[in-house]
Amino acid sequence: MVAENRRIIVARAELALTQKDLAKAVGVSRQTIVSIEKGGGNPSLELCKKICKTLNKSLGYLFGEE
């Protein structure tokens, strides 16, 4: 079982963004954001970069081991 990505959840909450808000900002469905937050799926590097830019966090922090 893949661990959920708490860093994305927290970063999104810090900006008062809903899953729907984040999805719209990066051009995907809310279900895609749900899947990523749950640790599922395999988001593209481009999508990961968009999420990082929107949440103002580094790629290493949100998706790595920083």
Q: Is residue 40 part of a domain?
A: yes
Q: Is residue 25 part of a domain?
A: yes
Give pTM, 2 decimals. Answer: 0.90
Interval 1-22: pLDDT, tens: 356 789 999 999 999 999 999 9
Domain containing 22 — which CATH number? Answer: 1.10.260.40
Tokens 């481009």, residue? 46
Looking at the structure of the chain, the number of domains it has is: 1
Q: Is residue 22 part of a domain?
A: yes
Interval 37-59: pLDDT, tens: 998 878 999 999 999 999 999 99
33-41, Cβ contacts within 8 angstroms, sequence gap of 24 or more: 36/5, 36/8, 37/4, 37/5, 37/8, 37/9, 38/2, 38/4, 38/5, 39/2, 39/3, 39/4, 39/5, 40/2
The residue segments making up the domain with residue 58 are 6-63
Q: Is residue 11 part of a domain?
A: yes
